[in-house]
Amino acid sequence: MPNFHRVVITGIGAVTPIGNNIDEYLLGLQKGSNGVSDITLFNPEQHPCKFAAEVKNLQTENFIEPKESKRWDRFSQFGVIAAKQAFNDSGIEITEANESRIGVIIGSGVGGLLTMESQAQILSHKGPKRVSPFTVPMMIPNMATGLAAIALGAKGPSSAVSTACAAGSNAIGDSYRLLQLGKADAMICGGAEASITPLGVAGFASAKALSFRNESPKTASRPFDAERDGFVIGEGSGILVLETLESAKKRGAKIYAEIIGYGSTCDAHHITSPSPGGTGGAAAIKLAIDDSSINPDQVDYINAHGTSTAANDKNETSAIKSIFKDRSYLIPVSSTKSMTGHLLGGSGGIEAVACILSLTHNFVPPTINYVNPDPDCDLDYVPNNARDAQIRVALSNSFGFGGHNVCLAFSKLD
């Protein structure tokens, strides 16, 4: 049997609709802030959905040279800024001696959609010679990883994950595995997304996945509520620095928490709909628990995928019940997407950060906009207000189009 390394979190960074750094994001989670508002990134007049959860007031020039940022898609800007925050927070230094032992994996469900759309318009109206030479590197989904590695000098394991809304969590889980096996000493990992574009919004609207509550956008993201009618598209990035416990202790790093389990499955059922009863999600939860060698009774909090769509919330509830049985009703289960909207491939990153903040600050974030109980969703969803609680073990669920399911398990360091 291999001698697995323990893996801890030593740095966190976040760019979200409710805060552009960790302090702001923590306060937003504790207050139950609402990041949803009318779309300002483009004119939504002709769209059936006219609202989203945008990142606002982000000072990109504090992290990226203005000349450089013009050559980066918005999703890459978010990913690099959150990565720099997490890297600086960790206090780790990259030198010639360790540069090949520090890697980057940042997931994205869509990649540079804004670039694709804008350059397609240029191609259509002005011809191929006017298409930017930066088009391809701006739009490909691996570029947040590449740019973060370049910015930080990380020459270790490097890849990008594109498993729809599970991408950020897969990136964290895959990084965890590399560290467990001793293939790296530290990994910068998470998710980034920027799909609030005309095509992105129109596509999800046509699929009937979005809420159309235009008369009251602040109440549109309402996971597990009986009157939920779809998700609210969001944007941003959440990044962690994962490190072997040996490496962190050797350099005297502060340690937020330990990652102790990772489960990844596929429904193999439908391109968008979850498997009936949430069987694929349940299998991922079980794998994460088994991987962590904890007892299900030790789980104190579940950060749900909780998209605010009819099928997801019902099936995720069933998945949780199938694993935790009667104890399901005693575990706080909340969806921070009620505040941030759904960041697609970026959601697993910011929700992993939310779990870590719950562990370190002893609270459970709320599910805001929860008003009308649904008989099919009858767990403790921490309605509307954060709750003080002693959290030792937290799970983070992420489920994506294509049937991808991920569960991550985090704990306080013993």
Q: Is 342 a catalytic residue?
A: yes
315 phi, psi to nearest 5 deg? -75, -35
Is 407 one of the catalytic residues? no
Q: Which two tokens stand for residue 201?
A: 């919004």
- Rounded to the nearest angstrom, the gap between the alpha carbon of residue 266 and the centroid of all alpha carbons in its chain is 18
Q: Which residues of 165-203 are buried (b: 16+ CB within 10 A; e: fewer)?
A: bbbbbbbbbbbbebbbeeebbbbbbbbbbbbbbbebbbe
Catalytic status, residue 404 = no
Amino acid at 10: T
Cα gap 182→43, rounded to integer Å: 49
Return the residue matching tokens 């289960």: 333
The catalytic position among 49, 305, 377, 407 is 305
Is residue 88 within 8 A of residue 11, CB to CB? The reply is: yes
Give the active site residue among 165, 355, 377, 407: 165
Please pick, among 342, 377, 404, 407, the residue that the annotation labels catalytic. 342
Q: Which of 220, 145, 192, 172 is nearest to 343 (CA)?
A: 192
Residue 179 C-alpha from the chain's centroid: 20
Tokens of 8: 């801890």
Question: Where are any strands of DSSP class E within 225-350?
Answer: 235-244, 257-266, 301-303, 333-334
User: Which residues are identified as catalytic?
Assistant: 165, 305, 342
